[in-house]
A and B are shown apart, each in its own frame.
Chain A
Amino acid sequence: MVETGHFALVLAFALSLVQMLVPLVGARTGNQRLMAVGGPVTVTGFALTALSFAALAGAYAGSDFSVANVWENSHSLQPMIYKITGTWGNHEGSMLLWVLILTFFGALVAVFGNNLPATLKANVLAVQGMIGAAFFLFILTTSNPFIRLNPAPVEGRDLNPVLQDLGLAIHPPLLYLGYVGFSICFSFSVAALIEGRIDASWARWVRPWTLVAWMFLTGGIAMGSYWAYYELGWGGFWFWDPVENASFMPWLAGTALLHSAIVMEKRSALKIWTLLLAILTFSLSLLGTFLVRSGVLTSVHAFATDPARGVFILCILTLFIGGSLALFALRASSLTAGGLFHPISREGALVLNNLFLTTATATVLVGTLYPLALEALTGGKISVGAPFFDLTFGPLMLPLLAIVPFGPLLAWKRGDVIAASQRLMAAFAVAVAAMLVTGLFINGASVFAALGVGLAVWLVAGALTDLAVKSGAGSVAPAVMLRRFAGLPRSVFGTALAHLGLGLTLLGIVGTLCFGTERILTMRPGETVELSGHSLRFEGLFPQKGPNFTEDRARFLLIGADGNAKGEISSAKRFFQARQTATTESGIRTLGLSQLYLSLGDEGNDGSVVVRLWWKPLVTLIWGGALVMMAGVAMSLADRRLRVGAPARRRKPAAALASPT
């Protein structure tokens, strides 16, 4: 079975070469039969990659330790769910997942792309084939998961204990769906450059793909953040770690792309910029893959002494980023520029959004790459963390967030700021009220905290104002308004929900950072600790045995105001024999939107234990807001205009779509 998987992977590589060359030649020469090869080849390539992935997953599920990759990352006592998720919990397997998703998206274009102009479809599939070929070759030459061991070991070395967690099991697939989803936007852009023109179907296809990729990337980042929060036991939700930044940069650029694609679709303006942004977003996804997968972050020196993988990905990176940008430089001038608009208009607001977001992306890029460059060039070691990003990323985000509610209320082409401001008066009043209440009535609130709460409420109220105004609030009878509200396009709900979710996330961040409290203390069994009005009694340490670990579980009872127990929180120190490593399982109890978070330190000889306790107000909103943003995007995707495969209402006659050559 494992050899079948290996063979399927080699075949998939061969097919990707066909996919990259034949349709391209067909599109160049106008040969319909050559162009038609692209579809079936893409679908077959996906089927073979899926077979290959299934073979590896099968080896993991069956604990076949004769496969080196399985031996290194699995253990026969591991629960079945972690045996399977272990398939992508390592370098080789995760790269296989990467190409699986890449070929899956390519196959979707092949199957549902019948309403695309034939040359565009052929070129898109060819570019997808190029990306696929590069990564297949990378896997086969430097990261082959199918290498056998002889003799086969009896027992595996276990999956890294911190990866034995459901959160991390679904984090990489979500993240990769996001990263790789942008490859379709990239392929469409490069295809447009090859053809030398952008037609209407380009925007209709790129926008939903951007939405899909963005939705998954948001989910992946939120999942990773929540995982770090509960698994690492530090109580933090974002560390500005290079690995986090690697996924955050494509997210920021993708957010900009999401907005400029709207202008492109609605007003056919900003064409060239949108195309460039699509290229940049996928380039940042590739950069993220490079940073995480080349080992350059673990050690610049390890990268220099064992260069096979790193240099290979660096070559892929240079080839695709350099190639696409060179093509852009050559061809962009031949693309027709789009319509004009007044600076104060919906388009103008979206341009401002793009300016802020791309600049913010650049600051994150500098903060992430500068330490690497400095170490490679001078050997000096610095760490760039929260203080740097607070000073650079923060000042860029604050004005952007403040102007978000204006955007959707401005008209296309020529807007009226004064009219929009009048409509936002109620939202502004609510935000100021929230700010004053926070500043005056909550103990220990700083000016910054009050401003943060005000800004978050402003975003939420602004999103609701948008819906109210578009339903005709204030000018029509309530019954009519309700009917109009129900009849609003889904993309309007999508925008409002996404902006509302952003406000909720901000509220969660401000609540946790500005109003959170923490205590560190040594506790003996029977002792009670008080934190922000919550009483916890330490019951003691209880040894337990799991499938592939042993643990000391500390139980705490949450005591209510009446002296009765309201519930239990438990935290544990786990020890994994196979890897001889310990992990800390934090104890979390959600109370409303807030959480009580507890983490264990060293144990004393007398049954005492060091306990670190946090009260995290509104912390669940950080990830809840991300879910609302994703729901908003899903809502936009459900809009009839964007539904892939829905008959286009204003389709150009076929003659206009034929290749100009």
Chain B
Amino acid sequence: MTRKQKRLSVIVAGLAFLAAAAGLTFYALGQKASYFYMPAELATASVPPGQRIRLGGLVEKGTVVRGSGATVAFSVTDTQKSVKVTYTGILPDLFREGQGVITEGAFGPDGVFVADSVLAKHDERYMPKEVADGLKAKGIWVESKSQ
């Protein structure tokens, strides 16, 4: 091979490698990123059982039931619709009734959302940002000017 051909083959191999990596990245973005929904949005979006999503909203007052062992059932609401959630594990320190929460998991065949993680990661107003944005968009929650 001449020097030019050699250089060309190295460049082609490099580009093929990058193209493969880019393809994989975009495939993974389509398949592995989990979308965020609030309960009312689930009525219009069809989410099949088993597909991983993130469900956010407020923990509905009076719905938290501690079952046997470490299993907890509660409802997540955006004041229009609510969704039943079960979770086995330790709830975060900031998990409280009436406050914002994000759960990640998938719907079971019975329509109950089985969460494998519950986040109450928050800013100083105890509201996860997706939940705060969602509630603001619905006009349910108005950001107070004072801190």
| Docked pose: A371 CA to B93 CA in angstroms | 27
- 396-429 of chain A: CB within 8 A of chain B: 396
Contact A612:B89 (CB < 8 A) given known A391-B28, A395-B24: yes
In the assembled complex, B142 has its CB within 8 A of some CB on chain A: no
Please pick, from A388, A520, A573, the residue contacting B29 in the complex, using a CB distance under 8 A: A388
Complex interface: chain B residues within 8 A of A584 (CB): 93
* Number of A-B contacts defined by CB within 8 Å: 97
> With an 8 A cutoff between CB atoms, is B47 at the interface?
no
Question: For residue A600, which residues in chain B have a CB less than 8 angstroms away from its CB?
Answer: 90
A522 to B52, CA, bound (A): 28
Partner among A299, A391, A520, A612 whose Cβ is within 8 Å of the Cβ of B129: A299
Tell me if A266 is interfacial: C-beta within 8 Å of chain B: no
Q: Which A residues from 290 to 316 make CB contacts under 8 A with B?
A: 298-299, 301-302
With an 8 A cutoff between CB atoms, is B51 at the interface? Answer: no
Given contacts A343-B10, A382-B36, contact A301 B133 (CB under 8 A): yes
B129 to A384, Cβ gap below 8 A? no
Q: Write out the residue numbers on chain A whose beta carbons fall within 8 Å of the beta carbon of B29.
A: 366-367, 370, 384, 388
Within 8 A of A (CB), among B45-98: 52, 54, 66, 69-70, 88-91, 93-94
- B33 engages A371 (CB within 8 Å): yes
Contacts of B70 in A (CB 8 A): 520-522, 601, 610, 612
Q: B123 within 8 Å of A by Cβ?
A: yes
A380 contacts B by Cβ under 8 Å: yes
User: Shortest distance in angstroms between B87's beta carbon and chain A's nearest beta carbon?
Assistant: 11
Report B97-147 residues with CB < 8 Å from chain A CB. Answer: 104, 123, 129-130, 132-133, 136
Given contacts A363-B25, A383-B54, A612-B90, contact A391 B133 (CB under 8 A): no
CA distance A505 to B18 in the complex (A): 27
Asked if A382 and B129 sit within 8 Å, CB to CB, the answer is: no
Is A594 among interface residues, defined by CB-CB distance under 8 A? no
Give the CA-CA distance A414 to B29 in the complex, in Å.
40
Question: Contacts A298-B123, A383-B54 known; A520 to B132 CB distance under 8 Å?
Answer: no
Q: A383 vs B29: C-alpha distance in the bound complex, in angstroms? A: 10
Name A343-394 residues within 8 Å CB distance of B: 343, 355, 359, 362-363, 366-367, 370-371, 380-385, 387-388, 390-392
Task: Judge whether B36 and A381 touch: CB under 8 Å.
Answer: yes
Determine the chain B residues whose CB is within 8 A of the CB of A388 once the complex forms. Answer: 28-29, 32-33
Interface mask (A520-546 → B, CB under 8 Å = 1, otherwise 0): 111000000000000000000000000
The answer to whether B8 has its CB under 8 Å from any CB of chain A is no
Q: How far is the CB of B30 from chain A (nearest CB, A)?
A: 10
Q: How far is the CB of A229 from chain B (nearest CB, A)?
A: 15
- The interface residues of chain B lying within 8 Å CB-to-CB of A387 are 28, 32, 34, 52
Q: Does A143 contact B (CB under 8 A)?
A: no
A359 to chain B: closest CB distance in Å? 5
Check: A583 CB closer than 8 A to any chain B CB: yes
Which residues of B have CB within 8 Å of A384? 29, 32-33
Tell whether, in the assembled complex, residue B69 and residue A521 are in contact, meaning their CB atoms are under 8 Å apart.
yes
Contacts of B94 in A (CB 8 A): 581-582
Chain B interface size band reads 20 to 34
Cα-based distance from A165 to B15 in the complex (angstroms): 47
* Complex Cα–Cα for A573 and B91 (A): 13
Q: Is A599 located at the chain interface by the 8 A CB criterion?
A: yes
Name the residue in A383, A581, A582, A612 with the highest tally of chain B Cβ atoms < 10 Å from its Cβ. Answer: A383
Kindly list chain B residues whose C-beta atoms are within 8 Å of the C-beta of A396: 21
Docked pose: A317 CA to B136 CA in angstroms: 31
Measured in the bound complex, the distance between the Cα atoms of B31 and A536 in whole Å is 42
Whole-angstrom distance between the Cβ of A353 and the nearest chain B Cβ: 13
Contact of B90 with A380 in the complex, beta carbons under 8 Å? no
List the A side residues contacting B66 at CB < 8 Å: 602
B25 touches A381 (CB 8 A): no
Question: Is A5 at the interface (CB under 8 A from chain B)?
Answer: no
Q: Given contacts A380-B35, A382-B34, A521-B70, is CB(A601)–CB(B90) below 8 Å? A: yes
Partner of B33, one of A382, A520, A601: A382
Compute how far the CA of A584 lies from the CA of B89 in the bound complex, rounded to whole angstroms. 14
Contact with A along B3-31 (1 / 0, CB 8 A): 00000001000100110010011011101
Docked pose: A522 CA to B93 CA in angstroms: 17
When distances are taken between beta carbons in the complex, the residues of chain B under 8 Å from A582 are 93-94
Q: Which residues of A contact B52 (CB under 8 A)?
A: 387
Chain A residues with CB under 8 Å of B10's CB are 343
Cα(A302)–Cα(B90), bound, Å:
31
| Alpha-carbon gap, A344 to B79, bound state (A) | 65
Output the nearest chain A residue to B6 by Cβ-Cβ distance.
A343
CB distance from A79 to the nearest CB of B (A): 21
CB of A583 within 8 A of CB of B93, answer yes
Is A233 at the interface (CB under 8 A from chain B)? yes
A602 and B29 alpha carbons, distance in the complex (Å): 36
B116 to A: closest C-beta gap in Å: 12
Chain A residues in 8 Å Cβ range of B89? 520, 601, 612
B32: A residues at CB distance < 8 A: 384, 387-388, 390-391
B6 smallest CB distance to A (angstroms): 8
Which single residue of chain A is at the shortest CB-CB distance from B89? A520
A392 touches B17 (CB 8 A): no
A396 to B94, CA, bound (A): 38
Chain B residues near A602 (CB, 8 Å)?
66, 90-91
Q: Are A382 and B35 in contact (CB under 8 A)?
A: yes
Min CB–CB distance B103 → chain A (angstroms): 12
Assembled-state Cα–Cα distance A332/B136 (Å): 50
CB-CB under 8 A from B25, the residues of chain A are 362-363, 366-367, 392
* Shortest Cβ distance from B72 into A: residue: A602
CB distance from B108 to the nearest CB of A (A): 19
Please give, as numbers and ranges, the residues of chain A lying within 8 Å of B27 by CB-CB distance: 391
Question: Shortest distance in angstroms between B139's beta carbon and chain A's nearest beta carbon?
Answer: 15
Residues from chain B with a CB closer than 8 A to the CB of A233 are 90
B-facing residues in A22-41 (Cβ within 8 Å)? none
| B31, B34, B136 — most chain A CB neighbours (10 Å) | B34
Q: Do residues B24 and A381 form an inter-chain contact, with CB atoms below 8 A? A: no
Would you give the shortest CB distance from A72 to chain B, in whole angstroms? 10
In the complex, the answer to whether A359 meets B18 with C-beta atoms within 8 Å is yes
Q: Which residues of A contact B69 (CB under 8 A)?
A: 520-522
Instruction: Give the CA-CA distance A367 to B25 in the complex, in Å.
Output: 8
Give the distance to chain B from A567, nearest Cβ to Cβ, in Å.
23
Verify A383–B34 contact, CB threshold 8 A. Answer: yes
A157 to chain B, nearest CB (A): 10
Task: Sort A-B residue pairs by CB-CB distance and give the 6 closest, nearest first.
Answer: A601-B90, A381-B36, A387-B32, A520-B70, A391-B28, A388-B32
List 9 interface pairs A-B (beta carbons < 8 Å), by A numbering. Answer: A298-B129, A301-B133, A355-B14, A355-B17, A384-B33, A391-B24, A582-B93, A582-B94, A601-B70
Binding site for A on B (CB under 8 A): 10, 14, 17-18, 21, 24-25, 27-29, 31-36, 52, 54, 66, 69-70, 88-91, 93-94, 104, 123, 129-130, 132-133, 136
Known: A383-B54, A599-B90; 9 extra A-B contacts, CB below 8 A, are A301-B136, A382-B34, A382-B36, A383-B34, A390-B32, A392-B21, A520-B69, A521-B70, A573-B93
